[in-house]
Amino acid sequence: MKVVIKLLLGPYTFEHSEVAVKIAEKALERGAEVILFLYMDGVHCVKKGQKPREFANIEEKIAQLACRGVKVVACMRCATARGYSLEDVVEGSSFEPLHYFAEHVKSADVVITIGK
């Protein structure tokens, strides 16, 4: 089974990023191939150097997912528009053009959008 999760919102404003992480973890536990596609402000989730004091560290959680085999992808256009390069994001994540998202969706069994 292939699960694609599209996250549209960044960390620490709402719990959307934490929900996306939990869904990805559960899908992995069930043996699914998981792609976490970060779009719009969702690209902030992979920024290096996050230091939340009262929240779960989304950067660390996403890095752990990448180590467990989740394909973590930030929209290239969204990331560069917000000033990010590959040096600014967690190891194991990558940038892809938006049209790659359509390819992921075509081959997915489940597609989940989290955000507005």
Position 51 pLDDT exceeds 80: yes
Q: What is the pLDDT of residue 87?
A: 96
Q: What is the pTM of this model?
A: 0.96
Residues linked to residue 2 through DSSP beta bridges, in sequence order: 33
Q: What is the pLDDT of residue 92?
A: 94
Q: What is the pLDDT of residue 19?
A: 97
Q: Which domain holds residue 74?
A: 2-114
d(Cα 66, Cα 61) in Å, to the nearest integer? 9
Q: What is the pLDDT of residue 13?
A: 87
Q: What is the mean pLDDT of residues 47-76?
A: 96
Task: Supply the CATH number for residue 27's domain.
Answer: 3.40.1260.10
* Closest to 43 measured CA to CA, from 89, 5, 105: 89
Q: What is the mean pLDDT of residues 51-55?
A: 92
Residues linked to residue 112 through DSSP beta bridges, in sequence order: 5
Residues linked to residue 35 through DSSP beta bridges, in sequence order: 4, 71
- Average predicted confidence (pLDDT) for the chain: 96
Position 116 pLDDT exceeds 90: no
d(Cα 30, Cα 45) in Å, to the nearest integer? 24
In the chain, the number of structural domains is: 1
Position 98 pLDDT exceeds 80: yes
* Closest to 27 measured CA to CA, from 71, 92, 93: 71
Positive or negative, the CA dihedral 61, 43, 47, 10 is negative
